[in-house]
Amino acid sequence: METTENNKLIAEFMGGISVPNDYINFPVTNGINAMPISKLKYHSSWDWLIPVVEKIESIGRTAVVIGFDTCEIKDENYADLSKNLPDRFDSFNEEGKTKLEATYKAVIEFIKWYNENR
């Protein structure tokens, strides 16, 4: 997937709704905030990516561990459960040139898994 598609995937995970003409509608208190998909900055801004990390951590006992150029998203319950359960995962480990890039890549892999298993 390219950056635009990955950013769209994250936006939908965060509650955005895809609409025609390559826009995402984000529900807000006073209506809808529409944004072109090309303007999403999950791949380049901690201000955009950290709320995604926080949402992931709010799902069960999921931990996001960010290192210098690595990111691991792990299921804290995994060790206590049978590996045959399809809705659990061990971890997603990603590396990148930067901490932000590694975190972005791990978030993408988690969301793909989450969308297939929820």
Confidence of residue 33 (pLDDT cuts 50, 70, 90): confident
Three-state DSSP class for residue 64: strand
Domain that holds residue 107: 3-117
Specify the pLDDT at position 77: 64
pTM: 0.84
The pLDDT mean for the chain works out to: 85
- Residue 12, domain CATH: 3.30.2120.10
**Total structural domains within the chain:** 1
Contact partners, residue 45, CB within 8 Å, separation at least 6: none
